Amino acid sequence: MAGGLGLKELTNGGSAPNVTLPSLSGPIEAAIRSRRSVRAFRPQMVDPTLLEHLIAGAGWAPSPHNAQPWRFVVVTTDGSKRDLAEAMGERFRADLLADGLSEASVTARVRASVERLTRTPALIIVCMVEDGLDAYPDVMRRVAERTMAMQSIGAAVQNLLLVADSLGLGACWLCAPLFCPETVSETLALDSAWEPQALVLVGYPSKRPAVAQRKPSASLTVYR
């Protein structure tokens, strides 16, 4: 990487836990550290060309066998956003009522959820497909193969978030489709092979997100 640090420098050969890292001032580290989840947006639409850039960036993520098992659904019209938000809201309502929450609190949470989706200029549903994955006769390897594909979806979403940030857009990864994949598929009339995995809110930020904290990497790492 131009201007970056060699792996050997960073890891001190891969064995010493107490190495003092040089300051991380390269553009990639800066981009990674400055990205925040943005949940409040100005009402203006996002230029479709910028949305294409987000999706193209997502597609440069690594994936098993370069299968690129991601697909994207861009939802920007008021009608489609409302249909999706309300259908997902109904599912959310049923789950919250089953959890034993009061009617008033369920209504407030569902309304907030619907408003969040309908007020966001663009929604990108990230789906997974099995197309291109290796086929195995045994369950263990089939599960591993699907896990790989899902892991690569995470990498694709991270790329998408980073490109959004670099273009002055805000974005936030929502897990909601995992709780109601059939609802998302039916409402958006998706191909049955597309499995909704994530919903990304995209728009121009209206509020600067709070400074985020991270656990020190030394507390998360063991060296052997």
Ligand X SMILES: Cc1cc2nc3c(=O)[nH]c(=O)nc-3n(C[C@H](O)[C@H](O)[C@H](O)COP(=O)(O)O)c2cc1C
Provide the binding-site residues for ligand X, judged by CB under 6 A: 36-37, 39, 172-176, 209, 212
Six-digit token pair at 78? 């008021």
Exposure class string for 7-38: b at 16+ Cβ within 10 A, else e: eeeeeeeeeeeeeeeeeeeeeeeeeeeebbeb
CB of 91 to ligand X, least distance (A): 14
CB of 172 to ligand X, least distance (A): 5
Six-digit token pair at 189? 């009339």
Q: How far apart are CA 16 and CA 218, in angstroms?
A: 12
Q: Which of 39, 91 has the CB closer to ligand X? A: 39
Helix (H) or strand (E) holding 123: strand 122-128
Q: Which of 6, 168 has the CB closer to ligand X? A: 168
**What are the distances in angstroms from CA 137 to CA 4, 55, 193?**
44, 33, 20
Q: Which of 110, 172 has the CB closer to ligand X? A: 172
Q: Which of 36, 119 has the CB closer to ligand X? A: 36
CB of 39 to ligand X, least distance (A): 6
| Segments in 67-221 forming alpha helices (H) | 78-98, 103-119, 139-166, 181-187
- Find the residue with minimal CB distance to ligand X: 37
CB of 34 to ligand X, least distance (A): 10
CB of 120 to ligand X, least distance (A): 12
CB 14 within 8 Å of CB 178: no
Q: Which of 39, 142 has the CB closer to ligand X? A: 39
